Amino acid sequence: MTGKFDQLKIAICGHIDHGKSTLIGRLLLDTKSLPKDKLKELHIIGKTFGEATQLAHLSDHLKEERDRNITIETTQVFFKTHKRPYCLIDTPGHLEFIRNMLTGASQAEAALLLIDINEGIAQQTYHHAYLLKLLALPNIILLVNKMDLVNYSRTAFERTKNDLLGLFSRLKIKSSNIIPISALQGDNISCSSKKMPWYHGAHVLSVLDAISNADNTLSKKDLCLPVQDIYSINDKNIVVGRIAAGKIHQGQEITVLPEGQTTTVKTIEIFDNKITSASEGKNIGLTLTTQTSIHRGNILCASKLAPERTISFQGNIFWLSSKELILGQSVTVHCSTQEFCCTVTNIIEIIDPTNLTIIKKNAQSLKQNQAAIIEFTLTTPAVLEKHSHIPELGRYTIENNHELCAAGIVLSTT
């Protein structure tokens, strides 16, 4: 692989005390991504007391920074390799802060899920794995940490690896890699460990560097552009948004959903530069040939290929609020830039995310930290797609008084 990639956002997840802070410290140290004064301080500590003390000092410093917010909010840490810059989103491991883990992970393009080799799959491992399934991140890397505590035992690793493969098989998701590591000692982080000659896979940084930002499959789909805002600049209205799928070109006829009016693309602009076309993933501004009424939440589509407007959908959901979700309840749903009201018309089945068993079918309510498949009926039509088709229009959240109550993915629409 040659060339440099754009910044990659990575969520780091895992049960409390499975080693997230230590891994973050190791990544910052090994990539020399710390400020010069902090590097000098750590060099002196390492030279005097050894590398383990050096990394512990950095981990304690990171923990202290987070503890000022009681580890409630996610923390963003930045580092870079010769291939590209990274934004590492450190998510809380406590059960009571799982809402914040979900918020942090939803911003990511990949995830590192840590498992302590001694403790194995813990409660939050199950919850985090289930939430990563809901977010459908394309790159989930499993890191079996603290291998130094079991003398780098291949047998211990294979046992934990098989448990993880079983969990991910039940969730019907794939992990791109399962890597035995010691974040404290630096094994298999920035280079291959000589202490585990039986492991022939890649180390953590090489796996991350190999992830591509591009998703060519989405660029080949029909145009989908959720409108983020409308700017009025120099007496012209510019429609701003990020292309979720497909391509757009100057002179193209487009349909504005859910209203259904049509118009034509006059210009396409990026940072005051006019271009003639753009594809999936690009943030663009558009001017149109007619003064069509457009607002945040509209979806722009190719006129001849515009999707059907949704009046009901089934979704997989993880309920986060301490207040139960009740059958027949009205909720506010956010999907991409859209906001609309729905009624819970059927709680088809409730799932225990810790063992993936069905608790109850045709239920009357859903409790905190339970998962379910639910049928919603919309009060007004919106534009939704199965998550497997266009993730941007297949991922949704439910909010109440600006509080995140749930997250889910669209399974089917009608």
| Structure confidence by residue, pLDDT tens digits, 308-349 | 899 999 999 989 888 999 999 999 999 999 999 999 999 999
Under the banding of pLDDT at 50, 70 and 90, the label for residue 218 is confident
Model pLDDT, residue 137: 78
User: Which single residue is written with the structure tokens 């585990």?
Assistant: 196
Looking at 1-153, list the stretches that DSSP marks H as alpha helix, in order from N- to C-terminal side.
20-30, 36-49, 51-67, 98-105, 123-135
**Whether residue 1 has pLDDT greater than 50:** no
Model pLDDT, residue 66: 45
pLDDT average, residue stretch 270-275 = 82
- Residue among 105, 180, 92 at smallest CA distance from 139: 105
What is the CA 388 to chain-centroid distance, rounded?
15
In the predicted model, what is the mean pLDDT of the chain? 85
Q: What H or E segment, with its residue span, contains residue 409? A: strand 403-413
pLDDT average, residue stretch 270-289 = 89
Model pLDDT, residue 65: 47
- Residue among 19, 352, 10, 9 at smallest CA distance from 171: 352
Under the banding of pLDDT at 50, 70 and 90, the label for residue 58 is low
User: For residues 340 and 379, what is the distance between their CA atoms, to the nearest angstrom?
Assistant: 8
**pLDDT top residue among 144 and 97:** 144
Q: Which domains does the chain have, with CATH numbers?
A: 8-213 (3.40.50.300), 217-305 (2.40.30.10), 310-413 (2.40.30.10)
Model pLDDT, residue 181: 97
The answer to whether 20 and 184 have CB atoms below 8 angstroms apart is no
- Residue among 129, 101, 134 at smallest CA distance from 113: 129
103-125 pLDDT, tens per residue?
656 667 888 999 999 999 987 78
